[in-house]
Amino acid sequence: MAAVLCLSALQARAQWPYEAPFVPSPQVVVDEMLRLAEVTKDDFVMDLGSGDGRILITAAVKFGARGIGVDLDETLIYQSEAAAQNAGVAERVQFLRQDLFKTDLSKASVITLYLLQKMNVRLRPHLLALRPGTRIVAHDFDLGDWKPDFKTTVRKNVMLWIVPANIHGHWRLNLPLPGGAQTWELDIRQKYQEVDGVVRVAQQPPGGLWQAQLRGERVSFTLVDSTDRENEAMMYFEGVIKGNVMEGEMRRGVGNKQTRHKWRAERFKP
């Protein structure tokens, strides 16, 4: 009996003409994908491998979003269009029969995926090239060594990635300190959204870049001001990255001794 079932599965796979088979996501998983991505009416959702259209239609019906679904199966495109019409959201969603690897993704603020992992990994360079802050949510299959920012399990694994800004390189950080303004250098290393590095101050040994976090174009990290050994203090940075500039607010110290300052850094070498 097991051999017959195995043979049937292989025959079904052989008959399927596309790279990923159509397997509909349970509605509760669809809901969780869109919840985790924090979809709103202001989002433009692109569903790659849209199948029967349920992810995009749910995004329109329950969250008020607009978007496009892409699939190669003409029959599924027709089914999706009919389902969108029945749900009353045909003016908010569109379904296109085309190759997802050749689709322009630049309009998307949210990308949804239920593809095989090998397809996700092939897509990864295109996804990383999107605008920082774009959310990517996938059902079951991940993006290889690009770890998700968040992961939940509702029957199946649901994973969320936030496209990170490019922060890798050498930066000059302008700091207002009690002893006067100073310029420090940050050497930052990056692998996807994972960030670490060192800080260099005058003739002092390199210091650490602590608690670094990167979420889209928003960055936070902690440095230690040890320019005055008798009055060392933690400095907590939060800011936004725009190309070769990042800037924001820094909190120096803690409690009733804490002060707030504006900061700015410029990348001088990649």
Average pLDDT over residues 262-266: 97
The pLDDT score that the predictor gives to residue 80 is 98
Residue-wise pLDDT for 222-234, tens only, equals 999 988 778 899 9
Residue-wise pLDDT for 125-135, tens only, equals 999 999 999 99
Residue 3: is its pLDDT beyond 60?
Answer: no
Domains, in order of start, for the chain: 14-162 (3.40.50.150), 169-269 (2.40.128.120)
Confidence of residue 11 (pLDDT cuts 50, 70, 90): very low
The chain-wide mean pLDDT, for the chain, equals 92
Helix axes 54-63, 74-87, angle to 10 degrees: 20
The pLDDT score that the predictor gives to residue 18 is 61
Contacts of 3 (CB under 8 A, 6+ apart): none
Residue-wise pLDDT for 134-171, tens only, equals 999 999 999 999 999 999 998 889 999 999 999 999 99
Paired tokens of 226: 């040890």
Strand partners, 172: 185, 266
Residue 250: is its pLDDT beyond 50?
Answer: yes
Percent of the chain at pLDDT exceeding 70: 93
Return d(Cα 84, Cα 159) in angstroms, integer: 26
Residue-wise pLDDT for 170-187, tens only, equals 999 999 888 888 999 999
